[in-house]
Amino acid sequence: MSESVSFGYEEVSPEEKTRRVGDVFSNVAAKYDIMNDAMSGGMHRLWKDRFVRRVKPQPGEQILDMAGGTGDIAFRMEACGADVTVSDINQEMLDVGIERAMKRGLDSLVWSRQNAEELTFPSRTFDAYTIAFGIRNVTHIDRALAEAHRVLKFGGRFFCLEFSTTEWPGFKDAYDFYSHKLVPQIGKAVADDADSYRYLIESIRRFPTMPEFEQMIRDAGFVRTRVEPILGGLVAIHSGWKV
Ligand SMILES: C[S@@+](CC[C@H](N)C(=O)[O-])C[C@H]1O[C@@H](n2cnc3c(N)ncnc32)[C@H](O)[C@@H]1O
């Protein structure tokens, strides 16, 4: 039987998932930043601040921000003095990021189009690997985790910020209503694109639970793994070390 993977609530071939995820981010690139604020009420900024505090980027460290999109995580890490490479499979997302970086006068970032599943970087290149709201869009998550492990130096650290499943009962119901009913409408109103935002919500629902994802990180070879739930697990920071 041929392999199938989830695209939102649909089962599709791996090639089709990669193509359709590409279409989603090409469609949303121009409005991506404004939509993030609209959908999260600005909270994504706080989650990203917290995430980068966990990473603790040091001056001169080589950090790969994978699925870095329009640069939100990279800009924060660059401000700490780290040497950051921003990678994403989608050139349109990277182009928006490059334009934002130019407006901020940031010229030290390296922008490199890459598929998280098959990186062109040599093994043991980076001190840290970050991926924020990106891994659930990757077709083969296990391959991306294996690549993260490969490109990290010994002693390197892995950090993932991703939506997960909140375990707060009352909050869960309100969030279900908000995400399934309101987010596509906000997507329609702000970006004239309900379908892309419907996919983004569905992909959150299909993502493994926190313990399952932690196990996947361990299976890729990381040790001392940790999960830090935010808002009961609505969002979670997963981390691990390569030793
Ligand atoms: C929701 S955006 C997150 C962007 C940014 N990290 C942030 O937090 O704002 C997800 C990103 O994952 C990228 N992506 C999806 N599949 C990918 C893959 N296989 N390899 C690299 N990037 C991928 C998309 O192009 C998109 O830019």
Q: For the domain that residue 11 is a member of, what is the CATH number?
A: 3.40.50.150
39/5 Cα distance (integer angstroms): 26
Instruction: Return all residues near 242 (Cβ < 8 A) that are at least 6 apart.
Output: 149, 152, 153, 154, 155, 156, 157, 158, 221, 222, 223
**Stretches in the chain below the pLDDT threshold 50:** none
- Of 75, 98, 115, the residue nearest 29 (C-alpha): 98
Which SS3 state, helix, strand or coil, does residue 240 take? strand
Nearest CA, atom 8, ligand 1 = 132
Rg (CA), the chain: 17
Contact between 145 and 228 (Cβ < 8 Å): no
Q: Ligand 1 centroid to 189 CA: how many Å?
A: 23
The pTM (predicted TM-score) of the whole model is 0.95
Split into its structural domains, the chain has a count of 1
CA dihedral of residues 226, 213, 232, 46 (deg, nearest 10)? 70
132 annotated to a ligand binding site: no
72 Cβ closer than 6 Å to some ligand 1 atom: yes
Average pLDDT, the chain: 93
Ligand 1 and 137: CB distance under 6 A = yes
CA of 70 to the centre of ligand 1 (A): 9
Q: Could you report the per-residue pLDDT of 59-118, keeping only the tens digit for each?
A: 999 999 999 999 999 999 999 999 999 999 999 999 999 999 999 999 999 999 999 999
- State which residues form the domain around 233: 5-241
What is the atom index within ligand 1 of the atom nearest the CA of 94? 27
pLDDT value at residue 167: 78
